[in-house]
Protein backbone atom coordinates (compact mmCIF):
# COMPACT_ATOMS: atom_id res chain seq x y z
CA UNK A 1 0.00 0.00 0.00
CA UNK A 2 1.36 3.41 -1.02
CA UNK A 3 -0.11 6.77 0.03
CA UNK A 4 0.26 10.12 -1.73
CA UNK A 5 -1.19 13.50 -0.73
CA UNK A 6 -3.02 15.51 -3.37
CA UNK A 7 -3.08 19.18 -2.31
CA UNK A 8 -5.56 21.93 -3.10
CA UNK A 9 -4.63 25.36 -4.45
CA UNK A 10 -5.92 28.88 -4.24
CA UNK A 11 -5.82 31.56 -6.93
CA UNK A 12 -4.48 34.93 -5.86
CA UNK A 13 -5.27 37.84 -8.13
CA UNK A 14 -6.91 35.79 -10.90
CA UNK A 15 -7.21 37.82 -14.11
CA UNK A 16 -9.13 36.35 -17.03
CA UNK A 17 -7.60 38.11 -20.04
CA UNK A 18 -9.52 36.69 -22.99
CA UNK A 19 -11.44 33.67 -24.26
CA UNK A 20 -9.55 31.36 -26.58
CA UNK A 21 -10.86 29.56 -29.64
CA UNK A 22 -10.45 26.22 -27.80
CA UNK A 23 -12.95 27.44 -25.13
CA UNK A 24 -10.25 27.87 -22.49
CA UNK A 25 -9.39 31.35 -21.23
CA UNK A 26 -6.06 33.14 -21.23
CA UNK A 27 -5.36 34.05 -17.67
CA UNK A 28 -2.80 35.52 -15.33
CA UNK A 29 -2.77 34.45 -11.71
CA UNK A 30 -0.69 33.36 -8.80
CA UNK A 31 -1.50 29.79 -7.74
CA UNK A 32 -0.51 28.75 -4.24
CA UNK A 33 -0.62 25.13 -3.12
CA UNK A 34 -2.24 24.85 0.31
CA UNK A 35 -2.19 22.27 3.08
CA UNK A 36 -5.74 20.98 2.45
CA UNK A 37 -5.41 17.64 0.69
CA UNK A 38 -7.00 14.43 -0.46
CA UNK A 39 -5.11 11.20 0.16
CA UNK A 40 -4.72 8.69 -2.66
CA UNK A 41 -3.94 5.17 -1.51
CA UNK A 42 -2.51 2.83 -4.16
CA UNK A 43 -2.83 -0.92 -3.53
CA UNK A 44 -1.54 -3.63 -5.87
CA UNK A 45 -4.54 -5.32 -7.53
CA UNK A 46 -5.49 -7.62 -10.40
CA UNK A 47 -7.21 -4.73 -12.21
CA UNK A 48 -7.43 -0.98 -11.79
CA UNK A 49 -10.45 0.31 -9.93
CA UNK A 50 -11.26 3.50 -8.08
CA UNK A 51 -13.04 3.82 -4.73
CA UNK A 52 -13.93 6.77 -2.58
CA UNK A 53 -13.92 7.51 1.13
CA UNK A 54 -14.50 10.85 2.84
CA UNK A 55 -16.76 13.71 3.70
CA UNK A 56 -17.62 15.09 0.23
CA UNK A 57 -18.75 11.89 -1.48
CA UNK A 58 -21.98 12.91 -3.12
CA UNK A 59 -20.68 14.71 -6.22
CA UNK A 60 -17.52 12.80 -7.21
CA UNK A 61 -18.07 10.41 -10.11
CA UNK A 62 -16.04 7.19 -10.23
CA UNK A 63 -16.63 6.58 -13.94
CA UNK A 64 -14.57 7.55 -17.02
CA UNK A 65 -15.22 11.26 -16.43
CA UNK A 66 -13.08 11.14 -13.27
CA UNK A 67 -9.63 12.61 -13.90
CA UNK A 68 -7.96 9.88 -11.84
CA UNK A 69 -9.32 7.28 -14.29
CA UNK A 70 -8.17 9.38 -17.22
CA UNK A 71 -4.69 9.95 -15.75
CA UNK A 72 -4.28 6.23 -14.98
CA UNK A 73 -5.13 5.26 -18.57
CA UNK A 74 -2.97 8.03 -20.03
CA UNK A 75 0.22 7.10 -18.18
CA UNK A 76 -0.45 3.38 -18.67
CA UNK A 77 -0.38 4.00 -22.44
CA UNK A 78 3.24 5.17 -22.00
CA UNK A 79 4.18 1.61 -21.06
CA UNK A 80 4.29 -1.56 -23.13
CA UNK A 81 3.13 -3.49 -20.08
CA UNK A 82 2.73 -2.68 -16.41
CA UNK A 83 4.41 -4.73 -13.70
CA UNK A 84 1.27 -4.53 -11.55
CA UNK A 85 -2.10 -2.84 -11.64
CA UNK A 86 -3.31 -0.71 -8.76
CA UNK A 87 -6.60 0.05 -7.12
CA UNK A 88 -6.82 3.62 -5.90
CA UNK A 89 -8.84 4.72 -2.90
CA UNK A 90 -9.42 8.46 -2.61
CA UNK A 91 -9.85 9.80 0.89
CA UNK A 92 -11.62 12.99 -0.15
CA UNK A 93 -11.19 16.19 1.87
CA UNK A 94 -11.03 18.87 -0.85
CA UNK A 95 -14.55 20.19 -1.53
CA UNK A 96 -15.75 19.51 -5.07
CA UNK A 97 -16.59 22.43 -7.38
CA UNK A 98 -15.09 25.17 -5.22
CA UNK A 99 -12.18 26.18 -7.50
CA UNK A 100 -9.57 24.51 -5.29
CA UNK A 101 -8.40 22.17 -8.05
CA UNK A 102 -9.10 18.87 -6.31
CA UNK A 103 -9.77 16.89 -9.49
CA UNK A 104 -6.74 18.33 -11.26
CA UNK A 105 -4.60 17.69 -8.21
CA UNK A 106 -5.83 14.09 -8.04
CA UNK A 107 -4.92 13.60 -11.71
CA UNK A 108 -1.44 15.08 -11.22
CA UNK A 109 -0.89 12.95 -8.12
CA UNK A 110 -1.93 9.84 -10.07
CA UNK A 111 0.63 10.64 -12.78
CA UNK A 112 3.38 11.31 -10.23
CA UNK A 113 2.57 8.20 -8.18
CA UNK A 114 2.42 5.80 -11.12
CA UNK A 115 5.60 7.29 -12.60
CA UNK A 116 7.26 6.38 -9.31
CA UNK A 117 5.54 3.02 -8.68
CA UNK A 118 6.03 1.76 -12.25
CA UNK A 119 9.58 3.22 -12.33
CA UNK A 120 8.94 5.02 -15.63
CA UNK A 121 11.48 7.76 -14.89
CA UNK A 122 9.49 10.33 -16.85
CA UNK A 123 10.81 13.87 -16.42
CA UNK A 124 8.69 16.55 -14.76
CA UNK A 125 8.24 18.26 -18.16
CA UNK A 126 6.89 15.02 -19.64
CA UNK A 127 4.43 14.66 -16.78
CA UNK A 128 3.33 18.29 -17.22
CA UNK A 129 2.72 17.68 -20.94
CA UNK A 130 0.66 14.59 -20.14
CA UNK A 131 -1.25 16.57 -17.53
CA UNK A 132 -2.04 19.36 -19.96
CA UNK A 133 -4.18 16.95 -22.00
CA UNK A 134 -6.24 16.23 -18.88
CA UNK A 135 -6.93 19.82 -17.81
CA UNK A 136 -5.51 23.31 -17.54
CA UNK A 137 -4.66 23.11 -13.82
CA UNK A 138 -3.01 19.67 -13.90
CA UNK A 139 0.48 20.91 -14.94
CA UNK A 140 0.54 23.27 -11.95
CA UNK A 141 0.04 20.36 -9.55
CA UNK A 142 2.94 18.37 -11.02
CA UNK A 143 5.37 20.82 -9.36
CA UNK A 144 2.98 22.51 -6.92
CA UNK A 145 4.31 25.22 -4.64
CA UNK A 146 3.72 28.83 -5.66
CA UNK A 147 3.70 29.71 -9.35
CA UNK A 148 2.69 32.51 -11.68
CA UNK A 149 0.26 30.91 -14.10
CA UNK A 150 -0.40 32.28 -17.59
CA UNK A 151 -1.86 31.15 -20.90
CA UNK A 152 -4.60 28.59 -20.29
CA UNK A 153 -2.73 27.54 -17.17
CA UNK A 154 0.15 25.83 -18.94
CA UNK A 155 2.72 28.62 -18.77
CA UNK A 156 4.20 28.27 -15.31
CA UNK A 157 6.85 30.31 -13.53
CA UNK A 158 7.82 29.11 -10.05
CA UNK A 159 7.97 31.77 -7.37
CA UNK A 160 9.99 31.67 -4.20
CA UNK A 161 7.43 32.92 -1.67
CA UNK A 162 10.22 34.46 0.40
CA UNK A 163 11.41 36.55 -2.53
CA UNK A 164 9.68 39.10 -4.73
CA UNK A 165 11.43 37.70 -7.79
CA UNK A 166 10.32 34.68 -9.75
CA UNK A 167 12.16 32.59 -12.29
CA UNK A 168 11.05 30.90 -15.47
CA UNK A 169 12.11 27.34 -16.00
CA angle 126, 130, 125 (to 5 degrees): 25
Q: How far is CA 77 from the centre of its chain?
A: 18
Distant-in-sequence, close-in-space partners of 106: CB < 8 Å, separation ≥ 6: 6, 38, 40, 67, 68, 71, 90
Q: Which helix (H) or strand (E) holds 4?
A: strand 2-19
76 among known catalytic residues? no
The single residue of 47, 125, 137, 154 carrying the catalytic annotation is 137
125 among known catalytic residues? no
Taking phi over 0 as left and psi of -120 to 50 as alpha, with beta for the rest, 119 belongs to left
- Distances in Å between the Cα of 166 and the Cα atoms of 17, 136, 141, 147 are 21, 21, 18, 8
Closest CA to 82 of 112, 109, 46: 46
Residues acting as catalytic residues: 9, 137
Amino acid sequence: MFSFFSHAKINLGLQVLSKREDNYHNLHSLFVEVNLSDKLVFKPANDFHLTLKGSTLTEMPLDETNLINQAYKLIKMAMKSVPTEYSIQVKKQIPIGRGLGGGSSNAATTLIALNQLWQLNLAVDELENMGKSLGADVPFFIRGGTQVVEGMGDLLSPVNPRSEEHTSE
